[in-house]
């Protein structure tokens, strides 16, 4: 049950503790590390999307100045193992070997084929050019629909197919719905391939230390990485320490076990000295896992009054050339979300994972849920247009009403709480919906070359990944719990250790806020430690908007255990019964005798000295706890976007954007707002700017930031953000998670707005990203056919 | 190898450098000034922005040898005596950073922006920062921070100190 | 990424620079700000053996009034050019277009002459130089010559400069009274290159077009004048209709490239729309 804590820290807009080092340049990025004797490694990468390696000549490179060693895939074949996939989604999933460095085949441009270890990065880069690799090119497989057709060329010849798996979920009588419903909306949408583009390129440093190795990496997942490095290399887990120092953004791209991390460890072992690798941006665009990349075939069945009967979803999901850590599971995270916030009688979801000769895909902000949300929110607008209803109205007729929670959805989830009416009403008010509709009508009337469009997205998502038993039922290789420990030091200062691994989210601040309130200590007295497996022994790391909804609750539990223990000690010191003690503001006092009291700091010192502890109480005031949620959390909200479309050039300008999000209780409104802003930017970027493009030979043509367009401040609008607060009922704080909401919600809001602007011209879709040329073409095709 | 004499954050250094050594690598790897990071290969991201004789430049597209005889200010050289520059304070107050990787460059570019225009509009700030990419914040709080710093620096211009 | 090694020469005068170039031969590159060249070096798309850095050739930074023309030194930075009072007064088209080049930090290093000598058809300034009938002043150890902008941009990333030649500056005829100019740039994001750009200068006499020049960015391997547009407007009364029908010829005779940001036929369409807009804006001044 929800126990909303309204302390003085929780809910306050604390400025972040992290900032002190980040605004002064006193950061510790992995690439900053310089260790005695450290060598730099550089990788030679395949220029072919698909080829057989017939020979590698590294003799000349070995003679280059400053070169310590050169290794090919063959040199490391016996020890490099295969990169892990922790999510075998079906029993018969085809899962090819994935050597960290290619041995005899390359299957995407950028796959490493050899490496140079040298005294500095300049020497390493120079020597790469002296390595000669002979390739026998093979036909690349680049198109998913062709890849699953009969007679297709194969990415992995030994698998006999390009299909990795087909995963099905069905509920209700969809055939009946499709047969009987008077309205069928059939669409094919493409979720283009995206490059996550965290600002910090990947970097890894590995040093032999004592009888083991310490590995620093720009990773979101130090704990999972340690386990996987042990599994892949056979080096015992307890001989490995993994540190995620300051990490410059991830967005899912650093939720991975990369070949370069494994190889850095192997090279450090081979050479007995520290090894550093730092990627360049263009190398990263080729080799950091990509996101999205789905072809969606959708059929929505509805009554003429707009009531949805059922939804059929048929996906092809591009895995790329190999299955990486959670590659096959990403599209399935969307399986439970295609129904959105709507009620329906029948639902069918089929997803086929397809191998292609492209960079592997995996989690990117939202991971499966943006794709699903886009589909249903676009379909709702199409349904509204088909029935000549307002898009808000058609949603109202179908969404789960606030009094219907908890609600078991057609996709098998139980939404614990929500209030779609409240969020929508607030958003409509802030947006001045009716005024903008009037302006739209006026521009249409005038045939203004700049048309106005309004897009709606009433989204929900599942986050707080995840109940371990649910993950188990989906064959995921690990649990979804999180760990925290709290130590009240003898001086009364507090150290918090979290298994969550922040890389921009502000845990050091938010966790201190929670702790300050739960323990009644000053915010400044709390220090939060994370991202080092020797400091934080247990953890499941940071992804899937899980940190607060899972890790935050573990922290609450750990704090509460500390208070319980302190209560026993305090009762003993005060010679009072535990049940007679009140704990407020960090002070235990005897009910009715307020001056008989001990502060938690005094109790901590007494517990440290241990001169006089009650029987059975161990010295020191600390505790740890884990939390494994019973359910996901379900943030939701209503986003409204107005765009101006220049019908002459196809250029789209976002005129206004309103986001009302319901993320449950808010620990730090500043951090929440920042997460929403950043999420919006990335979701809008999918709608308008970003796409990883391959040419006919399988070369990525968007390897630099000059070609893969990341929006700047000048390209994005001012956002109006607000919140409603419907607490989650599945955790004691009532929190839900906010890391992905903005990204999930905004893409369909923008595309809906563009299509809305152009609907009078007969346009009913513009493929993403909605570049000026695509908008212009959509208009032109209509005019041509009219 | 050419010999260079470069003043960085108030300290003069003399070094022999390979001509091809990028200024940012000189700062990071020779001087240990790791506060200035590298985010791309093509001068797009701006993470490596520093001031060269008071003007913003992307230190990944300047050779160390080109900085010979010049003065460089990095984010580490702002606000001497441990005091924060008003721009740094404003970034903190307005929550204008998340992961913080773009922040050094963003702060240096923002300082340069105010040197040109002490009272920029929101649109001018957005355009002025077009060469600095951030993936976390959606820029809104960065814009707020620059406005806040502008206001503060207009009121107390003597605080505008860059080493 | 990291440049391959090269020899570095830093002359302090034009004479030193041209003799360095003469000595270095075919494998030399001039570093004139480096905002295009440095990324090429880092990506190892260029491998010069010698880099001749003009950074310290002070005489090349000058902007001078020549009476009926301006001289803009090749090493005048974008930052300097867009603020220069002479440029703003006598060649506002250059100031306006320069302000759209890249971003402030890049404009602090990038130079006017560097942008022209790089001869990138997607660059904004080559089309501007073409529209203004600018003349490129070229020096080498062999002597000097003047190359009209119309002959300077030869092909993709190829100018009329010989390996031993240096662009020292550009002479830009002043536009007299009655002229209006405009640069209309279309790009996908603020920082990205022009998909298409249109540089336009119009001289009105009473209500008619007395003189008009239109040059196009990124509509071929080199910047190109839209001569069909120019011809169809001479002496024509200024009107939306006249501009609209003239602009329909904007892409005549061009061979626009196709790339990630636009196909050839989209660029041809854009050229028409942007030319109309540029004509309208230029003639409104």
Check whether A776 has a pLDDT greater than 90.
yes
Check whether A264 has a pLDDT greater than 90.
yes
C-beta of residue A110 within 8 angstroms of C-beta of residue A700: yes
C16 assigned to some structural domain: yes
- The enclosing H or E element of C17 equals helix C14-24
**Statement to judge: residues C23 and C81 lie in one domain:** no
User: CA-to-CA distance for B126 and A711, rounded, in angstroms?
Assistant: 11
- The structure tokens listed for C70 are 């301006």
Residue A254: list chain B partners with CB under 8 A. none
Name the one residue in this structure whose structure tokens are 């390209």: A715
In degrees, rounded to 5, the angle at the alpha carbon of residue A700 between the alpha carbons of residues A696 and A704 is 145
CB contact under 8 A, A280 and C1: yes
Q: What is the DSSP letter of A578?
A: G
Check whether A3 has a pLDDT greater than 70.
no
CA dihedral in degrees (A266, A248, B132, B17; nearest 10)? -40
Task: Give residue-wise pLDDT tens across range A692-702.
Answer: 999 999 999 99
Nearest to B40 among A21, A679, A705 (CB): A705
C-beta of residue B63 within 8 angstroms of C-beta of residue B22: yes
**Statement to judge: residues C155 and C204 lie in one domain:** no
Q: Is the ipTM of this complex over 0.95?
A: yes
Cis omega before residue C4 (within 30°)?
no
At A1 the pLDDT is: 34
Give the class (CATH, top level) of A33-138+199-249+254-287: alpha beta
Whether B18 and chain A come into contact, CB under 8 Å, resolves to yes
User: CA-to-CA distance for B69 and B62, rounded, in angstroms?
Assistant: 14
Whether A248 and chain B come into contact, CB under 8 Å, resolves to yes
What percent of chain B is predicted at pLDDT more than 90? Answer: 91
Task: Give residue-wise pLDDT tens across range A722-736.
Answer: 999 999 999 999 999
Task: Give residue-wise pLDDT tens across range C137-163.
Answer: 999 999 999 999 999 999 999 999 999
Give the class (CATH, top level) of A291-465+631-785: alpha beta
At C285 the pLDDT is: 60
Overall average pLDDT of the C48-68 stretch: 97
**Statement to judge: residues C204 and C226 lie in one domain:** yes
Task: Give residue-wise pLDDT tens across range C4-43.
Answer: 999 999 999 999 999 999 999 888 999 999 999 999 999 9
Check whether A5 has a pLDDT greater than 90.
no
Residue C47: which domain range?
7-53
Overall average pLDDT of the A481-501 stretch: 97
Report the DSSP pairing between strands C50-53 and C7-9: parallel
User: CA-to-CA distance for A277 and A282, rounded, in angstroms?
Assistant: 14
Residue B143: list chain A partners with CB under 8 A. 713, 718
Chain B residue with the nearest C-alpha to that of A285: B40
Nearest to B42 among A198, A249, A704 (CB): A704
Nearest to C270 among A649, A693, A715 (CB): A649
CB contact under 8 A, B131 and C3: no
Instruction: Report the CATH number that the domain containing residue C207 is assigned in CATH.
Output: 3.30.390.50
CB contact under 8 A, B101 and A674: no
Return the CATH number of B3-77, one of 2.170.120.12, 3.30.9.10, 3.40.50.620, 3.10.20.30: 3.10.20.30
Overall average pLDDT of the B3-8 stretch: 98
CB contact under 8 A, B102 and A199: yes
Where do you find CATH 1.10.150.120 in chain B? 80-156
In degrees, rounded to 5, the angle at the alpha carbon of residue C49 between the alpha carbons of residues C45 and C52 is 100
C-beta of residue A23 within 8 angstroms of C-beta of residue B88: yes
Which of A648, A708, A768, A783 is the best residue to mutate to test the C interface, defined by the most C CB atoms within 10 Å of its own CB? A648
C-beta of residue A128 within 8 angstroms of C-beta of residue A49: no
Task: Give residue-wise pLDDT tens across range A240-263.
Answer: 999 999 999 999 999 999 999 999
**Statement to judge: residues C42 and C69 lie in one domain:** no
Overall average pLDDT of the A536-550 stretch: 92
Where do you find CATH 3.30.365.10 in chain A? 291-465+631-785, 481-627
**Statement to judge: residues C75 and C151 lie in one domain:** yes
At B119 the pLDDT is: 97
CB contact under 8 A, B19 and C105: no
CB contact under 8 A, C189 and A711: yes
User: CA-to-CA distance for A161 and A151, rounded, in angstroms?
Assistant: 9
C190 assigned to some structural domain: yes
Residue A706: list chain B partners with CB under 8 A. 42, 44
**Statement to judge: residues C120 and C64 lie in one domain:** yes
User: CA-to-CA distance for A559 and A565, rounded, in angstroms?
Assistant: 10
Nearest to B149 by CA among B99, B113, B101: B113
C2 assigned to some structural domain: no
Instruction: Report the CATH number that the domain containing residue C142 is assigned in CATH.
Output: 3.30.465.10
For residue B14, CA distances in Å to A705, B17, B69 come to 34, 10, 10
User: CB atoms < 10 A from the CB of A211, how many?
Assistant: 8
Cis omega before residue C37 (within 30°)?
no
Nearest to C31 by CA among C104, C122, C97, C110: C110
Q: Is C27 left (phi over 0), alpha (psi -120 to 50) or beta?
A: alpha
Total structural domains in chain C?
Answer: 3
Domain A481-627, classified CATH 3.30.365.10, yes or no = yes
Return the CATH number of B80-156, one of 3.10.620.30, 1.10.150.120, 3.40.50.300, 1.10.10.10: 1.10.150.120
Residues 6 or more apart whose Cβ sits within 8 Å of residue A255: A220, A221, A325, A326, A362, A363, A541, A543
Residue B107: list chain A partners with CB under 8 A. 23
Where do you find CATH 3.10.20.30 in chain B? 3-77
User: CA-to-CA distance for B92 and B159, rounded, in angstroms?
Assistant: 17
CB contact under 8 A, B99 and A718: no
Instruction: Report the CATH number that the domain containing residue C26 is assigned in CATH.
Output: 3.30.43.10
CB contact under 8 A, C186 and A711: no
Task: Give residue-wise pLDDT tens across range C99-108.
Answer: 999 999 999 9
Residue C190: list chain A partners with CB under 8 A. 712, 714-715
User: CA-to-CA distance for A306 and A342, rounded, in angstroms?
Assistant: 12
Of C155, C173, C191, the position where a domain reaches its end is C173
Q: What is the DSSP letter of A183?
A: E
Check whether B163 has a pLDDT greater than 50.
no
C1 assigned to some structural domain: no
């Amino acid at each position: 049950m929800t126990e909303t804590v309204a302390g003085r820290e929780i809910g306050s807009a604390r400025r972040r503790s992290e900032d002190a080092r980040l605004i002064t340049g006193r950061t510790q990025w992995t690439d900053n590390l310089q260790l005695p004797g450290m060598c730099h490694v550089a990788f030679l990468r395949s220029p072919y999307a698909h080829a057989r390696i017939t020979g590698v000549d590294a003799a000349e490179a070995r003679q280059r100045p400053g070169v310590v060693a050169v290794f090919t895939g063959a040199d490391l074949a016996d020890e490099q193992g295969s990169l892990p996939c922790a999510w075998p989604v079906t029993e018969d999933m085809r899962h090819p070997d994935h050597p960290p460095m290619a041995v005899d085949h390359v299957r995407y441009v950028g796959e490493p084929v050899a490496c140079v270890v040298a005294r500095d990065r300049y020497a390493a880069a120079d020597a790469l050019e002296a390595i000669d690799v002979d390739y026998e090119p093979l036909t690349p497989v680049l198109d998913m629909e062709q890849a699953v057709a009969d007679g297709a060329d194969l990415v992995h010849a030994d698998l006999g197919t390009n299909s990795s798996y087909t995963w099905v979920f069905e509920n209700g009588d969809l055939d009946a719905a499709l047969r009987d419903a008077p309205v069928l909306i059939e669409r094919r949408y493409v979720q283009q391939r995206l490059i996550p583009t965290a600002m910090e390129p990947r970097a890894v440093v590995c040093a032999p230390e004592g009888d083991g190795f310490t590995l620093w990496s720009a990773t979101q997942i130090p704990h999972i990485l340690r386990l996987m490095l042990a599994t892949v290399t056979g080096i015992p887990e307890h001989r490995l320490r993994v540190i995620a120092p300051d990490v410059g953004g991830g967005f899912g791209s650093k939720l991975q076990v990369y070949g370069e991390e494994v190889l850095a460890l192997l090279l450090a072992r081979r050479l007995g000295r520290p090894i550093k690798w730092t990627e360049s941006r263009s190398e990263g665009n080729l080799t950091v896992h990509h996101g999205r990349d789905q072809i969606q075939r959708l059929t929505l069945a509805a009554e003429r009054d707009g009531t949805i009967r059922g939804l059929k979803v048929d996906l092809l999901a591009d895995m790329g050339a190999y299955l990486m850590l959670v590659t096959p599971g990403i599209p399935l995270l969307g399986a439970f979300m295609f129904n959105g916030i709507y009620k329906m009688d029948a639902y069918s979801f089929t997803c086929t994972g397809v191998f292609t000769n492209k960079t592997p895909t995996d989690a990117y902000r939202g991971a499966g849920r943006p794709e699903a949300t886009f589909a249903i929110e676009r379909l709702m607008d199409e349904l509204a247009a088909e029935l000549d209803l307002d898009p808000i109205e058609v949603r109202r007729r179908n969404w789960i009403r606030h009094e219907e929670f908890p609600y078991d959805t057609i996709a098998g989830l139980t939404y614990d709480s929500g209030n779609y009416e409240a969020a929508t009403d607030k958003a409509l008010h802030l947006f001045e919906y009716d005024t903008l509709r009037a302006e739209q009508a006026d521009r249409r009337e005038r045939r203004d070359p700049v048309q106005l469009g309004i897009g709606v997205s009433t989204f929900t998502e599942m986050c707080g990944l995840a109940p371990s038993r649910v993950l188990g039922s989906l064959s995921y290789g690990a649990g979804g719990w999180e760990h925290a420990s709290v130590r009240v030091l003898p001086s009364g200062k507090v150290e918090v250790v979290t298994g969550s691994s922040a890389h921009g989210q502000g845990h050091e601040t938010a966790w201190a806020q929670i702790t300050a309130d739960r323990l009644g200590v000053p915010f400044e007295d709390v220090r939060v430690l994370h991202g080092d497996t020797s400091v934080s022994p247990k953890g499941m790391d940071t992804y899937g908007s899980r940190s607060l909804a899972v890790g935050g609750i573990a922290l609450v539990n750990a704090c509460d255990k500390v208070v319980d223990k302190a209560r026993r000690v305090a009762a003993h010191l005060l010679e009072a019964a535990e049940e007679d003690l009140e704990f407020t503001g960090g002070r235990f006092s005897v009910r009715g005798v307020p001056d008989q009291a001990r502060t938690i700091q005094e109790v901590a010192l007494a517990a440290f000295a241990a001169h006089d502890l009650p029987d059975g109480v161990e010295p020191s005031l600390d505790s740890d706890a884990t939390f494994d949620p019973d359910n996901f959390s379900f943030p939701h909200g209503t986003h409204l976007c107005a765009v101006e479309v220049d019908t002459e050039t196809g250029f789209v300008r976002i005129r206004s954007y309103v986001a009302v999000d319901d993320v449950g209780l808010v620990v730090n409104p500043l951090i929440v707002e920042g997460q929403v802003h950043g999420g919006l930017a990335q979701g809008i970027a999918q709608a308008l700017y970003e796409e990883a493009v391959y040419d006919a030979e399988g070369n990525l043509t968007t390897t630099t930031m000059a070609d893969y367009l990341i929006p700047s401040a000048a390209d994005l609008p001012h956002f109006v953000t607000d919140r409603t607060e419907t607490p989650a009922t599945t955790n004691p704080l009532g929190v839900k998670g906010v890391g992905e909401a903005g990204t999930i919600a905004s893409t369909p809001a923008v595309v809906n707005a563009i299509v809305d602007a152009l609907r009078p011209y007969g346009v009913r879709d513009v493929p993403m990203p909605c570049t000026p040329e695509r908008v212009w073409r959509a208009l032109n095709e209509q005019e041509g056919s009219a | 190898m050419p010999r260079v004499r470069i003043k960085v954050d108030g300290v003069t250094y003399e070094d022999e450098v390979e001509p091809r050594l990028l200024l940012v690598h000189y700062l990071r790897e020779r001087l240990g000034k790791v506060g200035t990071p590298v985010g791309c290969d093509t001068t797009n991201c701006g993470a490596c922005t520093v001031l060269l004789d008071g003007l913003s430049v992307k230190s990944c597209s300047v050779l160390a040898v080109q900085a010979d005889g010049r003065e460089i200010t990095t984010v580490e050289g702002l606000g001497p005596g441990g005091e924060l520059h008003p721009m740094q304070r404003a970034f903190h107050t307005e929550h204008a950073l998340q992961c913080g990787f773009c922040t050094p460059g963003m702060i240096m570019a923002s300082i340069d922006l105010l040197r040109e225009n002490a009272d920029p509009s929101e649109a001018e700030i957005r355009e002025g920062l077009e060469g600095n990419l951030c993936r976390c914040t959606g820029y809104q709080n960065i814009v707020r921070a620059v406005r806040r710093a502008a206001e503060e620096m207009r009121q107390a211009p003597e605080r505008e100190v860059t080493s | 990424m990291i440049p391959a090694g090269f020899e570095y020469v830093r002359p302090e005068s034009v004479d030193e620079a041209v003799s360095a170039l003469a000595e270095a031969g075919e494998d030399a590159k001039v570093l004139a700000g480096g905002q295009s060249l440095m990324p090429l070096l880092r990506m190892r798309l260029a491998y010069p053996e010698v880099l001749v850095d003009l950074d310290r050739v002070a005489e090349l930074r000058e902007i001078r009034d020549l009476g009926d023309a301006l001289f803009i030194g090749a090493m005048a930075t974008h930052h300097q050019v867009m603020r220069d009072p002479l440029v703003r007064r006598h060649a506002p088209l250059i100031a306006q277009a320069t302000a759209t080049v890249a971003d402030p930090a890049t404009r602090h290093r990038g130079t006017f002459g560097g942008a022209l000598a790089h001869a990138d058809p997607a660059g904004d300034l080559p089309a501007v130089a073409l529209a203004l009938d600018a003349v490129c002043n070229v020096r080498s150890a062999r002597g000097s010559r003047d190359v009209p902008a119309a002959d300077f941009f030869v092909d993709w990333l190829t100018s009329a400069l010989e390996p031993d030649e240096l662009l020292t500056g550009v002479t830009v005829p002043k536009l007299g009274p009655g002229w209006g100019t405009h640069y209309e740039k279309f790009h996908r994001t603020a920082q990205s290159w022009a998909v298409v750009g249109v540089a336009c200068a119009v001289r009105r006499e009473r209500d008619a077009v007395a003189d008009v020049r239109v040059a196009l960015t990124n509509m071929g391997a080199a910047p190109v004048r839209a001569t069909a547009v120019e011809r169809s407007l001479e002496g024509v009364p200024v009107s939306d209709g006249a501009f609209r029908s003239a602009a329909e010829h904007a892409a005549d005779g061009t061979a626009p490239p196709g790339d990630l940001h636009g196909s050839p036929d989209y660029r041809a369409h854009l050229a028409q729309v942007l030319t109309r807009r540029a004509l309208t804006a230029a003639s409104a001044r």
